[in-house]
């Protein structure tokens, strides 16, 4: 829901109205009272109508007209509605705004209601609750994004509480569970990125956890505590999966059982009578994935930028998948990089295989492009929301799997791909053959439209279609048969609205039709005319009935075929999902190979050491952005945070340099390279040796949280505190400009102490960027700390950013030069130069407090700028000053630009 919408819709009665209300409105209010936290889509004919507060909220959210219908308690009843056929489009908008919708349908035939009286209301009830975490419709789901519903379980025991998370994607059947802690809770939630988090009411109102739920906003939804009861969880799980006991699923803690039970109970609550084919809960081991806190995820823009867009994110930069399932798997891997070197190596082996086999890679991707989203199609079918095209999606998946199997026959595959092809081989061949023979080539969207069963699949269906579509040909055939039988060449089969179909002969042929006992028995007299007689036969009467009912019967047969195919698909759900997951693995591995080949990525070495050595590293997003903008190529840089020869802990780099020099880009690229390596991707570097990072922290960029009373500096300090309190020796820490949000000496003191703490206590690998140049003296005191800087060149008062990282320390920040580049008025820039010069001199002589007297206000602005002296031969002088033998390639390029500038004057 959006911020203007309370949990209970204001203005909507939640008890039955007083006498005088219409029966229909009584029914609406009764159903609404049972669903106070949802907008009620109340079916009336071809529209879903909303009343009272629901109508007011929906009209604002959807931009539709608010009207009135009748009165309640003397007041007009607000009303608005949406057409049933377009309901998905409106649901998409409401769900996107965080609303929950209760869909109320007629559950009896109107004819039955009339039997109770002419004014009786057709029985209605909520058939489904549509919430952000439980949608399955293709229109409402982004193909490349998972749609997780998450449940938080908490069990009190002893001095501490135990926590667990269970998350389900109803659209695909994925079901996972993991233990967590209060400290890790936010990080584990944002790693999964659920669309909806359900929490027991007491937990939701726990003051200790309130900051976490505030971060989620409306995505966090309190539910009755009974849904999370760990004592009855085992029974609930067993009932849902129709097993005697869930012990075969694995051993789960009480907190995990509570979370699993809450997730299943919510699915049952929202899906009513329908049951999605969920996987059995799969446990994720704590510590099996890289810990990345929410602030770091936001700073690094893994799935979305800070503005919420996918464009500009790391995911967008690396995604080369060709299927929706493959894109979702890629996103899952990106959000949860591994920490086990062997598992990482197995993924890298798959990428290496496709790089070495470009023909197979190309053939695979061509075959995968025709694959529909099999898991989501299966879920829609199981929930009775699917259509013929969902069955067609399964068929396309089976056909692609068979084609891919033939393509890779005899290939020497790495372990991960071997497992994938084993799952593909286990797809139900009989069902694949059955669905292929049953479905036609052109499939309608809705099953009620018919025409999706292939000809020759069902004999009766073919007969009904022939009667429906070719009744004239059938009647003509019977007519020819009767002429041959009777010898009456003038015999005709005709039709009118009174007799229906009948046989007509001239009066002089009545002896043939009525003469013998056999003819009397066969031909039944219907009508005598002046010059003709009319008859029928049992066969003709039966044919007439069949023709009249052929369309209905044909559709009924097709619907029966559809139901049988759906039941068969659901019976093979586990194998189908496993095969679809295997196809997604192939898609991701091939996509990462394409990425590596097109972007010049290389395979990293990932092991259990503390190494962190990158040669020629590049920022994967910025590099592509520069190429699209046709700007200068990205400048690659090395980094080495590995322990020294006799060191036991990783190094710390203290990075100085000007604004716009590329410090933030360099910081982020090292973090992103670590993530890419541990998710199993090649990396944008000439080479990379990375000892597994177990925790990644990044504090880059400024932001505030004014809604929670936090200034930019407070947010900075909170995030820094989290880093210093949690980072261990296997962590990677990226910090930028700590202390800049407060007074200079305060900020310097905090930054100084933070670096010392990282060195002595955390002992982690870290890059610390700062403008406090005084901190460079720490390198003499801290053995693992090294000074590096972003190199620049100055030319006639201007600064040229080289974007190169080199050893040493910057002696200044070039802020005035950057201000000039930004377009500040020349008078301001000149004034700033004078102030800076005198401040620097005053600081050195201890006379900073007297500088105000020496710098009268606007003194520089009031001066007329003297013309610069003309240069007799500036170009010649500059050229004569060059010494090519002592110049690096970069120096030569810079000199060339300077000479070009002089030549243009």
Residues contributing to the annotated binding site for ATP: 657-664
Q: Phi and psi for 312 in degrees, rounded to 5?
A: 95, -5
Q: Phi and psi for 160 in degrees, rounded to 5?
A: -125, 160
Residues 6+ apart with CB under 8 A from 452: 388, 391, 439, 440, 443, 444, 558, 562
Residues 6+ apart with CB under 8 A from 561: 438, 453, 457, 458, 461
- Give the residues across from 180 on adjacent strands: 163
DSSP-assigned letters across all residues of 542-598 = HHHHHHHHHHHHHHHHHHHHHHHHHHHHHHTHHHHHHHHHHHHHHHHHHHHHHHHHH
Rounded distance between C-alpha atoms, residue 790 and residue 655, angstroms: 7
Q: How many CB atoms sit inside 10 A of residue 827's CB?
A: 14
Locate 574 and state its tokens: 């586990």
DSSP secondary structure letter of residue 762: I
Q: Which residue has the tokens 């028995």?
A: 521
Dihedral sign, CA of 654, 660, 666, 667? positive
Nearest to 186 by CA among 99, 296, 328, 97: 296
Rounded distance between C-alpha atoms, residue 854 and residue 836, angstroms: 12
Rounded distance between C-alpha atoms, residue 442 and residue 465, angstroms: 16
Query: Can you give the C-alpha Rg of the chain in angstroms?
Result: 37
- Residue ranges of the binding site: 657-664
User: For residues 315 and 676, is the Cβ–Cβ distance under 8 A?
Assistant: no
User: For residues 452 and 388, is the Cβ–Cβ distance under 8 A?
Assistant: yes
Rounded distance between C-alpha atoms, residue 641 and residue 485, angstroms: 100
Q: How many CB atoms sit inside 10 A of residue 486's CB?
A: 17
Long-range contacts of 445-449 (CB under 8 A, 24+ apart): 445/387, 445/388, 445/389, 446/387, 446/388, 447/387, 447/388, 447/558, 447/559, 447/562, 448/555, 448/559
- Give the residues across from 535 on adjacent strands: 503, 525
Buried-exposed string 583-619: b where 16+ CB fall within 10 A, e elsewhere = bbbbbbbbbbbbbbeebebebbbbeebbbbbbeebbb
Q: How many CB atoms sit inside 10 A of residue 459's CB?
A: 8
Full strand arrangement of the beta sheet holding 149-157: 220-223, 196-200, 149-157, 160-169, 174-180, 282-283
Instruction: Give the strand pairing for 637-640 and 124-130.
Output: unpaired
Dihedral sign, CA of 716, 183, 764, 191? negative
Nearest to 31 by CA among 125, 133, 146: 125
Three-state helix/strand/coil letters over 87-109: HHHHHHHHHHCCCCEEEEEECCC
User: For residues 416 and 351, is the Cβ–Cβ distance under 8 A?
Assistant: no
Instruction: Give the strand pairing for 532-536 and 500-506.
Output: antiparallel
SS3 213: helix
DSSP secondary structure letter of residue 760: I
Instruction: Give the strand pairing for 220-223 and 652-656.
Output: unpaired
User: For residues 610 and 643, is the Cβ–Cβ distance under 8 A?
Assistant: yes
């Amino acid at each position: 829901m959006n911020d203007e919408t309370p949990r209970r819709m204001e203005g909507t009665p939640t008890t039955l109205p007083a006498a005088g209300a219409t029966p229909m409105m009584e029914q609406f209010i009764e159903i609404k009272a049972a669903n106070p936290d949802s907008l009620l889509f109340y079916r009336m004919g071809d529209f879903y109508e909303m009343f009272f507060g629901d109508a007011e909220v929906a009209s604002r959210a959807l931009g539709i007209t608010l009207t009135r219908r009748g009165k309640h308690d003397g007041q007009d009843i607000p009303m608005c509605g949406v057409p049933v056929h377009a309901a998905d489009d409106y649901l998409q908008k409401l769900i996107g705004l965080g609303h929950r919708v209760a869909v109320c349908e007629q559950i009896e035939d109107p004819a039955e209601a009339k039997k109770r009286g002419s004014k009786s209301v057709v029985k209605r009830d909520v058939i489904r609750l549509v919430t952000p975490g439980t949608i399955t419709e293709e229109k409402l789901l982004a193909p490349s994004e998972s749609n997780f519903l998450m449940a938080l379980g908490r069990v009190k025991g002893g001095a501490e509480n135990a926590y667990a998370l269970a998350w389900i994607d109803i659209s695909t059947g994925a079901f996972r569970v993991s233990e967590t802690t209060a400290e890790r809770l936010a990080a584990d939630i944002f790693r999964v990125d659920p669309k909806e988090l359900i929490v027991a009411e007491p937990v939701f109102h726990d003051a200790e956890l309130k900051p976490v739920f505030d971060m989620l906003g409306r995505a966090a939804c309190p539910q009755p505590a009974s849904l999370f009861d760990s004592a009855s969880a085992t029974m609930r799980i067993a009932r849902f999966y129709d097993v005697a006991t869930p012990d075969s699923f694995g051993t789960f803690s009480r907190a995990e059982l509570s979370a699993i039970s809450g997730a299943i109970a919510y699915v049952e609550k929202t899906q009513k009578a329908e049951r999605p084919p969920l996987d059995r809960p799969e446990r994720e081991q704590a510590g099996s994935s890289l810990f990345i806190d929410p602030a770091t995820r936001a700073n690094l823009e893994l799935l979305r930028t800070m503005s919420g867009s996918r464009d500009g994110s790391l995911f967008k930069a690396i995604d080369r998948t060709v299927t929706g399932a493959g894109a979702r798997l890629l996103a899952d891997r990106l959000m949860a990089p591994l920490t086990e070197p062997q598992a990482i190596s197995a993924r890298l082996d798959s990428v290496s295989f496709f790089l070495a086999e470009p023909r197979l890679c190309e053939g695979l991707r061509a075959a995968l492009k025709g694959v529909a989203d099999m898991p989501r199609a299966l879920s829609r079918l199981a929930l009775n929301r699917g259509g013929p095209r969902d069955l067609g999606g399964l068929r396309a998946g089976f056909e692609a799997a068979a084609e891919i199997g033939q393509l890779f026959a005899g290939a020497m595959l790495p372990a991960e791909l071997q497992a994938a092809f084993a799952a593909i081989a286990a797809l139900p061949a009989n069902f694949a053959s059955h669905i292929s023979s049953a479905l036609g080539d052109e499939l309608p969207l809705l099953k009620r439209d018919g025409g999706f069963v292939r000809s020759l699949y069902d004999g009766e269906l073919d007969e009904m279609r022939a009667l429906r579509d070719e009744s004239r040909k059938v009647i003509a055939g019977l007519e020819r048969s009767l002429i041959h039988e009777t010898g009456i060449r003038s015999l005709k089969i005709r039709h009118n609205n009174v007799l229906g179909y009948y046989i007509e002969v001239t009066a002089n042929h009545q002896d043939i039709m009525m003469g013998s006992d056999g003819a009397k028995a066969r031909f039944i007299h219907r009508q005598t005319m002046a010059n003709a007689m009319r008859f029928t036969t049992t066969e003709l009467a039966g044919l007439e009935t069949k023709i009249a009912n052929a369309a209905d019967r044909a559709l009924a047969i097709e619907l029966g075929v559809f139901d049988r195919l759906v039941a068969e698909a659901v019976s093979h759900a586990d194998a189908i999902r496993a095969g679809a997951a295997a196809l997604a693995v192939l898609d991701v591995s091939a996509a990462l190979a394409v990425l590596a080949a097109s972007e010049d990525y290389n395979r990293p070495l990932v092991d259990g050491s503390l190494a962190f050595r990158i040669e020629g590293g590049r920022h994967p997003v910025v590099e592509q952005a520069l190429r699209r903008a046709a700007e200068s190529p990205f400048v690659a840089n090395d980094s080495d945070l590995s322990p020294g020869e006799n060191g036991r802990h990783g190094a710390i780099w203290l990075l100085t340099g000007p604004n716009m020099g590329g410090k933030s880009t360099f910081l982020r690229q090292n973090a992103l390279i670590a993530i890419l390596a541990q998710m199993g991707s090649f990396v944008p570097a000439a080479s990379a040796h990375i000892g597994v990072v177990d925790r990644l922290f990044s504090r880059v960029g400024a932001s505030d949280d004014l809604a929670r009373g936090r200034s930019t500096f407070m947010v900075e300090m909170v995030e820094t505190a989290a880093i210093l309190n949690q980072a261990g020796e296997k962590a990677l820490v990226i910090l930028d400009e700590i202390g800049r949000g407060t007074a200079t000496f305060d900020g310097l003191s905090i930054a100084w102490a933070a670096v010392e703490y990282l060195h002595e206590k955390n002992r982690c690998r870290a890059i610390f960027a700062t403008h406090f140049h005084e901190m460079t003296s720490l390198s003499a005191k801290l053995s693992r700390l090294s000074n590096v800087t972003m190199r620049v060149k100055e030319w006639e008062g201007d600064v040229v950013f080289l974007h190169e990282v080199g050893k040493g320390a910057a002696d200044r920040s070039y802020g005035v030069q950057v201000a000039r580049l930004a377009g500040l008025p020349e008078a301001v820039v000149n004034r700033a130069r004078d102030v800076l010069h005198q401040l620097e001199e005053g600081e050195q002589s201890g006379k900073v407090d007297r500088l105000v007297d020496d710098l009268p206000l606007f003194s520089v602005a009031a001066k007329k700028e003297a013309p610069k002296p003309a240069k007799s031969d500036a170009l010649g002088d500059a050229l004569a000053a060059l010494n090519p033998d002592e110049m690096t390639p970069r120096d030569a390029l810079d000199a060339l630009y300077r000479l070009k500038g002089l030549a243009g004057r």
